[in-house]
Structure 1
Amino acid sequence: MSARVPRVLAVAGTDPTGGAGQHADLKSIAAMGGYGMSAVTAVVVQNTLGVRSVHVPPAEVLTAQLEAVSDDVVVDAVKIGMLGSVPVIEAVARWLAQHRLPVVVLDPVMVATSGGRLLEPDAEDALRAVLGLADLVTPNLQELAVLAGEDPAPSWTAALAQGHRVARTHDVLVLVKGGHLAGDRTPDALVGPGSPEPLVALDGARVPTANSHGTGCSLSSALATLQVRHGDWPTSLRIAREWLRGALAEADGLEVGGGSGPVHHFHHVQDALASWGTAPERFSEELWADSAGVRRQIEELEFVRRLGDGRLAPEPFLAYLDQDLQYLEHYGRALAQLAARAPDEASRRFFAAGSLSCTETEAQLHRARLRQAGRERPAAAGPTTRRYTAFLLAATAAEPYPVGLAAVLPCYWVYAEVGRHLQGLAEAAGHAEHPYADWLATYADEGFQEATRTARRLLDEAAREASPALRERMREAFLEACALERDFFAAPLEPPLAGTAAGPGGQGRAGAGAAGRLPRVGAIE
């Protein structure tokens, strides 16, 4: 297996509207960084509303196509889709037996979306005989039932059992897909002939769209391409699944056809295309744009407005400081955990210095102000504080280093932005006796601003080396922490806001947050 551009051959039928068959295959291969080639098994007259007719060229024409490719090009992987007749299936089987390709993915096109069988019984038998020449088979639930010679599975548990039986019978990996099951979840699992448990099982909420034409073709081609690059089927499946979910989520924007339209194969490159001719955006800037909604929610909180213009009563402010002091202890631990896992000495020094500043400098300032107000003993940590600290400690200890880094970044960046907003409110209020003027002045500390810039730079460096799937986990951690920041600011005066993770549309994920405790450390030397 190699990190070079995978050369992937799609053996499939056509779709003149571009959503399925080899048209979807070639798009998927390119989207996953491969070089796509194709051999036509059938000319299908179809659009998003349905299939009108099918012309199957002589099997000799298909054989000539396959040999023309393999005589000249080293083929790293082949994805096999529609094989409409016994002669066509046998031609592909002979070619596979002769060439022993590194990666073979078979998407057995056997059953129409309506449930009708697309192959005659003898062709179904011939296709079952080809399974042993494949590394991975990717049937939908109805096709899985045909391969097993059984009725379609009524549940996910039954589907998994059916997948295991096919894997054992044909000594092949089987991707069991739950997209055709009823309900709001879409599970997928990779099962093999040698294990009673799935090699990997993934689950997620169903993506709400009616435009899903070509999902099976697209997923199987993406898997073939990724497997050449990674050499690990579970990794390939995780990446391909995340990409396909994004393609489904953005499918409605294509506006192709009046029926079930295609998925958006290149959804993940739209931002890059938009930035051509300008300086490329950093990943941290993408995250910042995604968090716009939750940052607006923070600015609109009653606690933030009153703190900024000086109308906040002393008791809620002291309650905020009390919880923030307890947060600092755990946040310092989170930074220490991140320092221990940092990839280089400079990063380790940066996060270690931040941890020390939390526990020694920032905490002392909090204690002094609380003592002045007659609060010698801290209150119990509230649910907001507990949830946020638990999230940060888990992210910096159990998740990959880049995910932990994304989780702590809002503690720098969002807090700095809120500080600028608060200072603007204080200046607009205009009165000389602002009760929190000294506290708000700490936001302007240049060491704190420089630390924020350094944390952003470290995140961008980590993102450049991360896979698409890992960057998505980084995004989720960043947005979760932004929502937690919001809820901590909300806690002194009002209950946490409900919602889902902040994204471009401004929705917020339910959580809890904290603020007011950034380590004021300098940049990496």
Structure 2
Amino acid sequence: MARTEAIEGATAEVTEATVLDTAQQARQAPEPEYAPSALPRPVPRVLSIAGTDPTGGAGIQADLKSIAAHGGYGMAAVTALVAQNTCGVRSVHTPPADFLAEQLRAVSDDVAIDAVKIGMLGDTPAILAVKTWLEQTRPPIVVLDPVMVATSNDRLLRPEAEDALRGLLPLVDLVTPNLPELAALLEVPVAGSWAQALEQGRELSRRHGLKVLVKGGHLQGADSPDALVDAAAGPGQDVVELSAPRVDTVNTHGTGCSLSAAVATVQARTLDWTLTLRQVKHWLTGALERSGELEVGRGHGPIHHFHHLQPADHPAQGFSQELWRQTAGVREDILALPFIRELAAGTLAEEHFGYYLAQDARYLNSYSRVLARASALAPTEAEQLFWAKGAHQCLEVEAELHRSWLAGREVPGGQGPVTKQYVDHLLAIAGNGSYGELVAAVVPCYWLYAHVGEQLQAGPAAADQDHPYAAWLQTYADESFAEATRQAVAIMDAAAAAETAAGRQRMRTAFEQSCRYELDFFDAPRVYA
């Protein structure tokens, strides 16, 4: 109970009246200049409300790393100053709750907050201060990591503080307890099996009207399951389970902090809890697998928050990054093609561009059907909508661009041999392959076109208003297309995480074959026009 005593002994005495007085001051503060957004944010503004860790592996320091690792802008309000390292907690100093409230107001009076992650709160006055602020501010996304029970099963909060923490739950979108904390929130014994843990998650979700991330890290077994539980979704749809091989490592310091901060950040970008969980679980598995590279501390070391940004010859490296590196030669060959160089310069012969557009129009007709098939196989509603939107975009936007240019021009008719080979490749996978294999096959059409468009848009000819192919260049260098590409790549990573080793190998093969067909497709006008 040493950690409990440290927290209780170091906690400053702050009355509830002080917190209420602080809340009164908050109501008199000026309105924020910017309102929080309910739309997806490319760079989410995420506030962490938690304690500190001077070694950087847990608490606010870990939260800020997780937020940054997922493309967010991190902010922090400190609830407690903790003297700890990878071996344990030495002491805790809790600032007055009115100072915590002042920090929260300082942020929300000025910055539009897209998501909030709440971690260690420590005592009742701090919890009440956060509750008052949430009631006044109503951030779009709130994720609570209920720091109640240590790994040693020591209770970290007094009973009255636990009751106050339960009072936060109606203001929260998602709670991410470990199994002892899940039991503490329900005031029942700790679940001894995954089935029992899921039922406790359902009960907590029903009782408080929120989503629960049930984590199986405390259980035994070769796999480490997680589940998103939402009782409001109804029978058969109230549990979405994901599993990954259990990582054999002692470096688990700050895992719960990092996970919850990552979920808050990614959810602000996707607005889809299932897709968010798939992405974050894949990232966390890699962060655990590569944690040994950090060599931080003598106890339970931290996870590797930025493993996906640092190449390594290791099976935990990001699946998409691995494929991108393996196909670097194809991209170099594409950019070196006469068709691409002349297109960039605006000197490409009309008959070559016309052949390319005519073949692309035929390709897009089949590609849209392949995307529709991906939508039918997709495991989440967000992915279904994404691929369906892509299919619509092929037929309505891109095809119209082609028809407008081709109108009144004579171009070779019929489907060219490269187009047929590429389409046959995609249709074969759509008919017989897995969802992951199909996603890997269609992503190069997003990723390589976005890459080519980015490279061409960066050239001097892109600024030329009289460039004959400006409309095409702008279409593939458009930010909305770049964002769609990022989403497609993220979906591919999530699909790879759900595949077996053999399934991921089939995905690699499908991706590499599609990249080769893209190279041939760009070169076809020179050969066949």
TM-score normalised to structure 2 length? 0.61
- 2:164 maps to a residue whose letter is A
The yes-or-no answer on 1:239 pairing with 2:268 is no
Aligned equivalents of 1:186 and 1:23: distance in 2? 25
Aligned match for 2:128, one of 74, 90, 94: 90
Instruction: Say whether the 8 Å CA contact 1:336–1:355 is kept in structure 2.
Output: no
Deviation at 1:465, TM superposition (A): 3.7
Aligned match for 2:247, one of 207, 217, 241: 207
Aligned match for 2:441, one of 401, 404, 419: 404
The yes-or-no answer on 1:119 pairing with 2:157 is yes
Map 1:88-237 onto structure 2 (within 5 A). 88-194=126-232, 195-196=234-235, 197-237=237-277
Instruction: Say whether the 8 Å CA contact 2:51–2:78 is kept in structure 1.
Output: yes
Aligned equivalents of 1:121 and 1:352: distance in 2? 74
**Aligned pair in 2 of structure 1 residues 2, 463: CA closer, same or farther (>3 Å)?**
closer
Instruction: Say whether the 8 Å CA contact 2:278–2:494 is kept in structure 1.
Output: no
SS class of match (1:72): coil
The yes-or-no answer on 1:56 pairing with 2:94 is yes
TM-score normalised to structure 1 length? 0.61
**Aligned pair in 2 of structure 1 residues 393, 249: CA closer, same or farther (>3 Å)?**
farther
SS class of match (1:180): coil
Aligned match for 1:353, one of 411, 417, 420: 417
Aligned match for 1:341, one of 356, 370, 374: 370
Aligned equivalents of 1:242 and 1:151: distance in 2? 30
Instruction: Say whether the 8 Å CA contact 2:55–2:85 is kept in structure 1.
Output: yes
Instruction: Say whether the 8 Å CA contact 1:131–1:170 is kept in structure 2.
Output: yes
The yes-or-no answer on 1:263 pairing with 2:303 is yes
Aligned equivalents of 1:238 and 1:480: distance in 2? 19
- 2:326 maps to a residue whose letter is L
Deviation at 1:287, TM superposition (A): 3.3
Deviation at 1:271, TM superposition (A): 3.9
Aligned equivalents of 1:394 and 1:58: distance in 2? 62
SS class of match (1:212): coil
- Summarize deviations over 1:341-384 as a string: whole Å, max 9, x none: 3756699x999835856999xxxxxxxxxxxxxxxxxxxxxxxx
SS class of match (2:117): strand
Q: Which residue of 1 aligns with 2:523?
A: 523
- 1:209 maps to a residue whose letter is T
Aligned equivalents of 2:422 and 2:272: distance in 1? 41
Deviation at 1:393, TM superposition (A): 4.3
Q: Which residue of 1 aligns with 2:45?
A: 7
**Aligned pair in 2 of structure 1 residues 463, 268: CA closer, same or farther (>3 Å)?**
farther
The yes-or-no answer on 1:470 pairing with 2:491 is yes
- 1:220 maps to a residue whose letter is S
- 1:523 maps to a residue whose letter is D
The yes-or-no answer on 1:41 pairing with 2:105 is no
**Aligned pair in 2 of structure 1 residues 88, 466: CA closer, same or farther (>3 Å)?**
closer
**Aligned pair in 2 of structure 1 residues 468, 267: CA closer, same or farther (>3 Å)?**
farther
Deviation at 1:233, TM superposition (A): 1.1
Any gaps of 5 or more consecutive residues in structure 2? 1-38, 313-319, 329-363, 372-393, 403-412, 446-480
**Aligned pair in 2 of structure 1 residues 359, 104: CA closer, same or farther (>3 Å)?**
closer
Aligned equivalents of 1:359 and 1:40: distance in 2? 56
Map 1:495-506 onto structure 2 (within 5 A). none
SS class of match (1:147): helix
- 1:109 maps to a residue whose letter is V
- 1:117 maps to a residue whose letter is R
- Summarize deviations over 1:309-342 as a string: whole Å, max 9, x none: xxxxxxxxxxxxxxxxxxxxxxxxxx99768437
The yes-or-no answer on 1:26 pairing with 2:47 is no
Q: Which residue of 2 aligns with 1:373?
A: none
Deviation at 1:202, TM superposition (A): 0.9
- 1:31 maps to a residue whose letter is A
- 1:185 maps to a residue whose letter is D
Deviation at 1:3, TM superposition (A): 2.6
Which of the two has higher C-alpha Rg?
A: 1
- 2:114 maps to a residue whose letter is D
SS class of match (2:49): strand
Root-mean-square deviation (Å): 4.3
Instruction: Say whether the 8 Å CA contact 1:403–1:473 is kept in structure 2.
Output: no
Deviation at 1:461, TM superposition (A): 9.1
Deviation at 1:284, TM superposition (A): 4.7
Instruction: Say whether the 8 Å CA contact 2:430–2:438 is kept in structure 1.
Output: no
SS class of match (1:235): helix
- Summarize deviations over 1:484-522 as a string: whole Å, max 9, x none: 7xxxxxxxxxxxxxxxx99xxxxxx9xxxx9xxx99888
Deviation at 1:470, TM superposition (A): 2.4
Q: Which shifted more, 470-479 or 11-20?
A: 470-479
Deviation at 1:63, TM superposition (A): 1.0
Map 1:486-497 onto structure 2 (within 5 A). none
- Summarize deviations over 1:151-175 as a string: whole Å, max 9, x none: 1101111000000101111111111
Aligned equivalents of 1:128 and 1:151: distance in 2? 17
Instruction: Say whether the 8 Å CA contact 1:10–1:26 is kept in structure 2.
Output: yes
Q: Which residue of 1 aligns with 2:326?
A: 287
Q: How many correspondences in the alignment? A: 372
- Summarize deviations over 1:20-76 as a string: whole Å, max 9, x none: 001111111111111111111111111011111111111111111111111221122
Aligned equivalents of 1:5 and 1:209: distance in 2? 32
- 2:240 maps to a residue whose letter is V
**Aligned pair in 2 of structure 1 residues 266, 142: CA closer, same or farther (>3 Å)?**
same
**Aligned pair in 2 of structure 1 residues 127, 285: CA closer, same or farther (>3 Å)?**
closer
